[in-house]
Amino acid sequence: MKRRQALQQIGVGVSAGLVLPAWLAACSDKDPQPEIQYDGVVGIIGAGAAGLHAADILRSKGVKVRIFEASSVLGGRVRTLRQFDQPTASLSFSTTDPPISKYPFELGAAFIEGTDSELARVVSQMKAPVIDFGPLGDDVYVLDGIPRTATEAATDADVAAALEFYASLKAHAEAGTVQNAIAGAGINPRVHAILNGWIGNRRGTANGKLGMKGVAEAVTLLTRNTNRAMLRANPMQDVVLSRFSNVLGMVELHTAITGVRYDGARVVLTGQRTTAGAAEPFSAEVDRVIVTVPVSVLKAEMITFNPPLPEDKLTALSRMDMEAALRVRLEFRKNFWGTQTNFIFGGTQAPEYFNAGIGRDDQLKTLDITIHGPRAAALSALGQDMVPVILQELDDIFEGQATESIRRDPSGNILSVIMDWTKEEYIRGGVAYCTAEGSNQDRATLAVPVNDVLFFAGEAAETTGEAGTLNGALLSAQVAALTLIETIVPTNQKIIDG
C-alpha cells in the first residue's frame, strides 16, 4: 500500500475508530484483546503534537508506550496563553499579570493551514468552530512606507510581479536562496519585504537564508488547499490535547533525555528528571524509540546518540536550520489598521501583523505579530525593549497612531505579551527550514529509521510539503508510527512503500 493511502486510512482518529489496513484491523470492536501482540515498550521523546499522535496510534494498537517530556508543558510548539501563566525566560508580560483578551492568544501554532488539511480534520472531529477569515477581509501591503489594501495595490506593477513570483514558486527549483531567485527575477526592492512576509517568515527565517529548492519542492508536493483559517474561540492547545487525551497520562514531565544508546538488546535512555526543583539522574530501557525533538535540539547535540547518528543523517541536519522566533501581542484603544484587514505585510521589523479581531469581533483592537529569523534574533536581544521598536514601525506606517492608542495599565505600562521561542530551553526557535544547500531529500533522510530501532517524527521530518506546520507534525507521526509497526508485526503486506 502506498504511503498516501495508508495515511488517509489513519485519518485523524485512531483512538476514535478509524479504518486501518486489514492486517492491523483484525479485531472487532467486541474483541478486548490488543490488536498487536507485542511485549516491548516504545519510548517517545517529546510530548508535542508529533509525539502525542504517534503515541495515540501505537496505544490504539495495544503497544505499550512511555512518553518523555523535558519541560513542564504538553503540546510543544502548540501553546496558548493562560490566565494563570507566570513569566518565564521565554514568556514575558509588561505587567504583573498577562493581559487576557476575549479570544485566545496562540503563542505557537495559530492557524489551520489548509481547510482540507490534517489539522482541519482534527478540528472538525473535535467540533471546534472555525473562521475561514480569508474572504472576510483584505491584506494590507506597506508600499513606499504607505499602507495599501491588496485590492488597491492590484494595479501596481511591482505588486503584480511579486504575486506572479509567489504563484510560480514551484517553477524555481534552483540552487541558492529565495532572495537570490527574487533578485534574479528582477523584482523591484520596494516589494521585497512583502515577499519576505509571504515566504521566508512563514517558513521560519528570512528570504536571504531560505533555500529556494526546498521551497519549490514543498509547494510542488503539497496536495491540500492553501486557505488559512483559525479557531473561533477554542485555544489551539486545548483542541490538540483533547484530541490526544487518551495518552496524556502516559507523559512523564520534567524528564529530559540526554542520551540514547541503541546498540544493545534494548535501548537505554539516560538523562535527568526534575522533582520539586531538584534534578536527579534518570534512566529507562525501551525496545524502540521515536525521537520528536526539534531540529535545533538535535543540531545542538543536546541528545547524545550511541552509536552516533549515521553520516547521511548528520549531513541532512547540516542543511537544515531553525532560527529565532517571536510571537508578540499588542492591544490598542483604537483599530487604526482597519476592521476588515487580515494581515499586514511589508514591515522590516515585523514581517507579519495579524488582525486578531477579523471574523471574531470588530471591537477587538489587537495585533498578533510573528517574526522569524535574523530580525527575531535581533529583537530577542532587546527583551521588552522590542515593543517600542515595533510600535515605531507601526507609527511610521500609520502616522503615529500606534503609540497614541496603545493600551496601558494604570501605571503606564504597555499591555503586551512576548513569547520568545528562542529562549525556550528545549525548543530553541521556530520551525525547521532547508538552507540554500538543502532540499526535501534532507527531510526524507532525517525521517529514515536507524536499525529499525530509532525513528524520527516532527514537522522537520515531514516530506509531503507540510514541513514547518502542525499538519506536518501530525503526518510525520503517522508515518513514523506505521513504519515502526511494520517492524514488529510479521506480515507480507507492507503498508508503506516509500
User: Tens of pLDDT along 353-380?
Assistant: 999 999 999 999 999 999 999 999 999 9
What is the pairing mode between strands 255-261 and 304-306?
parallel
Which pLDDT does position 8 carry in this prediction? 43
- Smallest CA-to-CA distance from 56 within 482, 390, 404 is with 482
Q: Is the dihedral of CA 289, 294, 298, 301 positive or negative?
A: negative
Residue 257 pLDDT > 80: yes
What's the pLDDT band for 83 if we cut at 50, 70, 90?
confident
Residue 410 pLDDT > 90: no
CB under 8 Å to 313, separation ≥6 — which residues?
A: 445, 446, 448, 450
Which pLDDT does position 225 carry in this prediction? 98
Average pLDDT of 325-330?
98
Using a pLDDT cut of 90, give the percent of the chain over it.
86
Q: What is the CA radius of gyration of the chain?
A: 23
Burial 239-271 (b: 16+ CB within 10 A, else e): bbbebbeebeebbbebbbbeebbbeeeebbbbb
CA distances (Å), origin 430, targets 210, 299, 433, 456:
14, 14, 10, 18
Residue 299 pLDDT > 80: yes
Q: Is the dihedral of CA 32, 34, 37, 38 positive or negative?
A: negative
For the chain, what is the mean pLDDT?
A: 92
Residue 17 pLDDT > 60: no
* E-state strands within 49-182: 64-68, 91-93, 112-113, 130-131, 138-143, 146-149
CB under 8 Å to 5, separation ≥6 — which residues?
A: none
**DSSP H or E segment with residue 372:** strand 366-372
- Smallest CA-to-CA distance from 275 within 259, 253, 249, 302 is with 253
User: Is 251:71 a contact under the CB 8 Å cutoff?
Assistant: no
* Domains of the chain and any CATH numbers: 3-27+34-74+243-319+442-488 (3.50.50.60)
Sheet holding 416-420, edge to edge: 91-93, 416-420, 325-331, 366-372, 352-355, 341-345, 138-143, 146-149
Average pLDDT of 321-342?
97
User: Is 267:285 a contact under the CB 8 Å cutoff?
Assistant: yes
Other Cβ atoms less than 10 A from the Cβ of 441: the count is 16
pTM of the predicted model as reported, rounded to 2 decimal places:
0.93
pLDDT tens string 268-285:
999 999 998 899 999 999
Helix (H, G, I), strand (E, B) or coil at 46: coil
Local structure of residue 274 (DSSP, 8 states)? E
CA–CA gap between residue 464 and residue 354 (Å, rounded): 27
Average pLDDT of 475-498?
78
What's the pLDDT band for 489 if we cut at 50, 70, 90?
confident
CA–CA gap between residue 231 and residue 131 (Å, rounded): 6
Distance of CA 46 to the CA centre of its chain: 14
Instruction: Dump the DSSP string for 407-474.
Output: -B-TTS-B-EEEEEGGG-TTT-SS-EEE-TT--HHHHHHHHS-BTTTEEE-SGGG--SS-TTSHHHHH
Residue 496 pLDDT > 70: no
What's the pLDDT band for 32 if we cut at 50, 70, 90?
very low
pLDDT tens string 109-149:
999 999 999 999 999 999 999 999 999 999 999 999 999 99
Q: pLDDT: is 30 or 498 the higher one? A: 498
**DSSP H or E segment with residue 321:** strand 320-322
Which pLDDT does position 95 carry in this prediction? 76
Q: Is the dihedral of CA 228, 233, 235, 240 positive or negative?
A: negative
Which pLDDT does position 491 carry in this prediction? 52
Average pLDDT of 413-440?
97
Give me the half-sphere count of Cα atoms (radius 13 Å) on the Cβ side of residue 216: 19
**DSSP H or E segment with residue 3:** helix 3-10
Cis peptide before 310 (omega within 30 of 0): no
**All three cell numbers of 117:** 488539511
Average pLDDT of 185-195?
99
Residue 96 pLDDT > 80: no
